[in-house]
Amino acid sequence: MGERVLVVGGGGREHALVWGLLRSPRVDQVIAAPGNPGMAAESGCLCVPGTSATDVDAVVALAEREKVSLVVVGPEDPLVAGLVDRLTEAGIAAFGPSEAAARLEGSKSHCKEFLLAHDIPTGAAVSFADADQALEYLDTLDAVPVVKADGLAAGKGVIVAETRTEAADAIREILVDGRFGRAGSEVLLEERLSGTEVSVLAFCDGADYVVMPAAQDHKRLLVGDRGPNTGGMGAFHPSPIADETLVETVARCVIEPTLAGLAAEGRPYRGVLYAGMMLTEAGPKVIEFNCRFGDPESQVVIPLLVTDLYEVLAACVDGDLASLDVVWADQAAVTVVLASGGYPVSSSPPAAVSGLEDVPDDCVVFHAGTEIIDGAIHAIGGRVLAVTAVKATLAEAANAAHAGVAAIEFSGAQHRADIARETAQVRT
């Protein structure tokens, strides 16, 4: 009998994890809670619909009942809620940071304080709980800041204001109108950094780390990096700007001091550390930390992993990452996201999805916002699907991924036709 693994979550990131784990010769079965139709279609995956990823008690009980050897926590909310701590107390191996370490993502104010305390390059910022004080401070600034809700807001808590009026409106929406609930009990007014955004992720075991291939994400909704911020409309590797020298710089100046600082504070970091970086004229600076795999970065980097994914995750949990030779394919990968019509501003009614069977075999389709309704797959809002292609060159991977997207249809579907192409930020 091989290993049984529980993957917590139901989005595109978790589908990529399920897909990768099922390719391990050591894994017999992956249980996904709650999972989604794409995961359910994977041979060897059992979905447990109705399980909430944030119901810590239910997830622990499921892990105990199914006698899994490893739990992989996908989303940020259960990490911040202390799921890994509870699983560890129950004697169940869990991949992901503790509640204390996950505060790096759970509180943007805390993260900023940590970065500044450890001399890790980042933009200047001030946090406020009072709207009047925040508005008064806004008037003193020479440039319009980025407005951020302090807590977790499902990727929607960052408002990149273009004008002072927009920034003031965002402050009132968060602190006065309660747009993000408890996540908006404080706001961060942060220096707007200019440059190209790159994500650098690393497997961490508390002391040692392995950097993943750098993925270049695209947060803006529309072609040419216009429109509102989103959770990510696509990503690709390799990026012309994220060369080996840059990755080494981020590892030395960001990853290493972060792990050392957390260990010194008694909260060693095990799991994936995701550094969202802005490549400014003054060098790379941290925009944010995420304490888990990125989405859609996961759909880019996991298909490039040659080493057994289960072995990598288990080594992180065991503190034994240094003994493992982690190998990546020397290829290019492109992921293009299909989102619902109202995304990211409003919700959309369910829409039947067609063409999935027509996607070329050289693409993988990862599900996120899908559901079976009347026996058919429907888009139910947000980011719905991500189409990934791995090829020898970036151009080939881009062409393949966009061809896969072209085969899929549903009412209101939107995607960026420039991911990994010249009109996007693919530049040196």
Give the CATH number for residue 36: 3.40.50.20
Residue 422 lies in a domain: no
Taking residues 325-337, report their average pLDDT. Answer: 97
- CB atoms closer than 10 angstroms to residue 20: 23
Predicted confidence (pLDDT) per residue in 364-394, tens digit: 999 999 999 999 999 998 999 999 999 999 9
Residues contacting 311, CB < 8 A, separation 6+: 24, 26, 324
Predicted confidence (pLDDT) per residue in 256-305, tens digit: 999 999 999 999 999 999 998 999 999 999 999 999 999 999 999 999 99
Q: What is the CATH number of the domain that holds 310?
A: 3.30.470.20
Asked whether residue 350 falls in the same domain as residue 243, the answer is: no
Residue % of the chain over a pLDDT of 90: 86
Given a contact cutoff of 8 angstroms between Cβ atoms, the answer to whether 273 and 371 are in contact is no
Q: What is the CATH number of the domain that holds 165?
A: 3.30.1490.20
Residue 16 lies in a domain: yes
pLDDT confidence bin for 156, thresholds 50/70/90 = confident
Residue 111 lies in a domain: no
Predicted confidence (pLDDT) per residue in 185-211, tens digit: 999 999 999 988 888 999 999 999 999
Name which residue leads in pLDDT, 156 or 216: 216
* Residue 428, pLDDT score: 37
Asked whether residue 186 falls in the same domain as residue 201, the answer is: no
Asked whether residue 401 falls in the same domain as residue 284, the answer is: no
Given a contact cutoff of 8 angstroms between Cβ atoms, the answer to whether 91 and 61 are in contact is no
Taking residues 14-27, report their average pLDDT. Answer: 98
Residue 371 lies in a domain: yes
Asked whether residue 179 falls in the same domain as residue 248, the answer is: no
Residue % of the chain over a pLDDT of 70: 98
pLDDT confidence bin for 155, thresholds 50/70/90 = confident
* Residue 215, pLDDT score: 86
* Residue 424, pLDDT score: 46
For the chain, what is the domain count? 4
Look at the block and give the residue holding tokens 């004080």: 133
Asked whether residue 36 falls in the same domain as residue 55, the answer is: yes
Residues contacting 268, CB < 8 A, separation 6+: 101, 206, 207, 259, 262
Domain range for 27: 3-96
Which of 273, 277, 251, 295 has its CA nearest to residue 104? 273
Rounded-to-integer distance, Cα 295 and Cα 120, Å:
24
Q: What is the helix (H) or strand (E) element at residue 125, kind and residue range?
A: strand 125-128
Residue 144 lies in a domain: yes
Q: Which of 80, 96, 112 is the last residue of a domain?
A: 96
Strand order, beta sheet including 370-373 = 351-352, 376-379, 370-373
pTM reported for the whole predicted model: 0.92
Q: Which of 141, 172, 190 is the last residue of a domain?
A: 190
41: phi then psi, degrees, rounded to nearest 5:
-80, -10
Rounded-to-integer distance, Cα 206 and Cα 219, Å:
30
Beta bridge pairs of residue 351: 379
* Residue 323, pLDDT score: 95
- Give burial (CB, 10 Å; 0-12/13-18/19+) of 342: middle
Q: Which of 301, 323, 345 is the last residue of a domain?
A: 323
Asked whether residue 345 falls in the same domain as residue 303, the answer is: no
Does the pLDDT value for residue 336 go beyond 50?
yes
Which of 413, 360, 345, 424 has its CA nearest to residue 385? 413
Given a contact cutoff of 8 angstroms between Cβ atoms, the answer to whether 380 and 370 are in contact is yes
Predicted confidence (pLDDT) per residue in 56-113, tens digit: 999 999 999 999 999 999 999 999 999 999 999 999 999 999 999 999 999 999 999 9
Asked whether residue 306 falls in the same domain as residue 217, the answer is: yes
Does the pLDDT value for residue 346 go beyond 60?
yes
Given a contact cutoff of 8 angstroms between Cβ atoms, the answer to whether 298 and 333 are in contact is no
380: left (phi over 0), alpha (psi -120 to 50) or beta: alpha
pLDDT confidence bin for 153, thresholds 50/70/90 = confident
Which residue type, as a one-letter code, is found at position 11?
A: G
* Residue 157, pLDDT score: 87
Distance, CA of 56 to chain centre = 21
Average pLDDT, the chain: 94
Asked whether residue 9 falls in the same domain as residue 90, the answer is: yes
